[in-house]
Structure 1
Amino acid sequence: MKKNISVAELPTFDAAPHLNNAVTIAAYLTDILEANDAGLLAAALGDVARARGMAEIAEAAGITREALYKALRPGSAPRFDTINRVCVALGMRLVVQPA
């Protein structure tokens, strides 16, 4: 007999363990940018920062670790300067392309 599983019983997915190289990270962030959702971008940058080490990224970006956690939590709306500094610390850059 098959047991039905509810969505609530499923484990929460964490992208961070899968973000282990620059190509994967760039593809992940590019897909997130296409969603056109600032809060989702902040959360995705948080996933990447956790994958790389939040304290290391915070130091490289010139932001306290606590402030970085706050800025990159799901649903937040960080300033562009913060997004840019985190991208630079991650070794990534935002690129503009024709639509």
Structure 2
Amino acid sequence: MIETFTRWDSSEFLKTEEDIQHYLEASRDEAGGDPAFIAKALGRVAKARETLRILGNQPSQSRTDTVR
């Protein structure tokens, strides 16, 4: 059996400001003082916020609420 993998983009699952807040808290806890880790997390938050702005805070049909 051949395993296939896809890239994980956490910004796709940040659908509300509350989601973003929890993500940033978890990122801070995980970072262990690594500024590159925090920078990457902030980049994902920026991407998520831009997507939310474009969509008018409405999830697209391709997004599902099954994964949280």
- TM-score, scaled to structure 2: 0.63
Give the letter aligned to residue 19 of structure 2. T
Give the Cα–Cα distance (whole angstroms) in 1 for the partners of residues 8 and 29 of structure 2. Answer: 20
Superposition deviation, residue 4 in structure 1: 3.9
Q: What are the Cα deviations for residues 19-39 of structure 1, in whole angstroms up to 9, with x where unaligned?
A: 111111111110110122211
Partner of 1:47: 44
Bigger Rg, which one: 1
Please name the residue that 1:30 is paired with: 25
Q: Deviations over 1:4-58 (max 9, x none)?
A: 41xxx4111001111111111111110110122211111011001011128x8xx
Identity, % of aligned pairs?
A: 28
Q: Which runs of 5 or more residues in structure 1 are unaligned?
A: 57-99
The two structures, once aligned, show a CA RMSD in angstroms of: 1.9
Could you tell me which runs of 5 or more consecutive residues in structure 2 were left unpaired when the two chains were aligned.
Answer: 54-68
Provide the TM-score with structure 1 as the length reference.
0.45
- Count of matched residue positions in the alignment of Structure 1 and Structure 2: 50
